[in-house]
Structure 1
Amino acid sequence: MIFYSRIFPLLARNALVFNKNVTIRSFNFVSVRPNPKIIDGKKIARDIQKELRVELDEWMGSGHRAPCLIAILVGDDPASEKYVQNKMIAAENIGIKSSTVKLSKTVSEEDVINKIKEYNENPDVDGILVQLPVPEHISERNVCNAVDPRKDVDGFHMTNVGKLAINMDTMVPATALGVIELIKRSQIKTFGKNVVVCGRSKNVGLPIAMLLHSDEKNECPGLEATVTICHRHTPPEELEFFTKRADIVISATGVVGLIKPDMIKQDACVIDVGITRITTEDGKSKLVGDVDFEGCFDVAGHITPVPGGVGPMTVAMLMSNTMKAAKALAL
């Protein structure tokens, strides 16, 4: 009941509902509104997909074909298959043509790159993504750099990463874009604010930090924050020192329970990018993030759940990148 009273304050006023001695006839049902503390990534992602559908309809109405997205899936990892499936469903909902190319986990790196080149040269394909991770015998960097930068909807090609570093308009990694869009649409102030990004990966943590710290007057507008990047070699006491002073804490490490309530400043915004599947005490499978959600909920001003926070936004922004690629290639 404690958890529900935190999330649903209106239910707390009707706490007798949970008293086993009260019959079902003795209380009134109430309409429960979502708690404004929780940043609802699912809803915001749905809004973005609706906006993209309108944009796509206008695009096709002016005589263009529907954008086309190709996903290359190497191996048979169940999580990767699920992620790709979610992307294909989103594409269909928006009106983007999409197809998944499945390759054996024993396929050679050369064959994967040749398949990528095939779609690079296909004028009817606008976006290409290779679902990561790939098997150990294949170089992730070589595969990402094989994708035409103009069709690199993941934003992982070294050309796109380099452009982002110098604030040029480019393809930005979808998860980073998703985090930034959550912040903007939740009206979280960033100008001059202190931000801690836990995680320095080139696909997530680093691009988030670059977008947050840079000048809003750039070709790729930044959010004008003061950003500290922490990582796995940051001592726990130092990490706590930085997070306690941060107005926004973004964690993308995959370390379960890394961010605890005593590490968060009152009313700070907490964005959980981490996602890890764990087995609970009763043997069930559960997705959790880096943040102690229930504990941090009482302290934070805004907080994202896992699942239902950053995940849906990653998919939505991947679709946005596909639309962007189609328009650029049509010029």
Structure 2
Amino acid sequence: MKHILIVDDNDENLYLLRMLLTGQGYTVEEAHNGSEALAQVRANVPDMVISDILMPEMDGFTFCRILKKDEQLRHIPFIFYTATYTDPRDEKLALNMGADAFIVKPTEPAEFLNRIEPVLMANRDGKSSLPREQNTEEVVLKEYNEALIRKLEHKMLKLEEVNSALEAEIASRKQAEFSLRESEERYRSLFENSMDGVLLTEPGGNILKANPAACRIFARSEAEICRIGRDGVVDASDPRLPKALEERERTGRFAGELTFLRKDGTKFPGEISSVIFRDAEGKLKTSMIIRDISGRKQAESQKEAALEEIRKLNEDLEKRIGERTAELRSTIAQLEDLNRVFVGRELKMMELKKRIAELEGKT
């Protein structure tokens, strides 16, 4: 049974490799960096090493170079399996160091096995089946340094990108915080200076905050209003209250009129607009904007009384006009009767005078 040492500083990568290889009948040993792996190789020589490159303490390139310089260990097949060093020049360096294969993560399991199994088969006699011409130490070190510089430049570029993104995010958050502060200041200004009463409440009826206008309307301090809650400021006997609460729970809002209570127990009519919302912590809250409409209701009542008085005066006037009209009609009828009598008498006098004249003419 072939024994494979896998080297990676990422536990998840080690787990995936271990599951793949043990599933194919290999025995697997693990190490988290080159130093740890080197000690394990010297204690128990494996049939193959599969190593990452970018690792703490000792990277994969250094581990491979040390292994390939050791006459007792250089025959061990060495495969790089990396996700960070993917440049063709990195692969060339790996092969120049003596690696038998260079595989880029991620690779499909079947393809990965197809890459490592020929290497194991070629080395079944304990010797490398494909001896390669090794470059001089100076050339290898030069290529190694170049690879490190490329990786450093890549990391610096990535770091600049991350820093730019972070700066943009910080600027965005500062703008959001500024906008939030502005919004909070506007809300505070509206809350404090509103002519209408404003209550911050919970759906169950607890009152959390009350603005100065609400304190004036209810003739109570904010602490008192918060202590007595909704039942202390809204008239529970108002038949409209249950329907208002049901509509707000169903639709998330309510607007209408209700009866409210002052500290001395007197009731007064008010317009209310209430909505349900979630605060920054996701908790349900409600707001209530209340306007005392006692003056308006009183004015409406006075207007109705005045209109009723005018209506009564009109009825009385119409009655008197009717009575006077009837009197005038009666008088006119009498005058017409008198006029007819008078005319009749005049006609008779004229007839009488005519007869007298005729008689006088005959004599």
Whichever structure has more helix as a proportion of its residues is 2
The two structures have a TM-score, normalised by structure 1, of 0.28
Whose RCO is larger (CA < 8 A, sep 6+)? 1
Q: Larger C-alpha radius of gyration, 1 or 2? A: 2
The two structures have a TM-score, normalised by structure 2, of 0.25
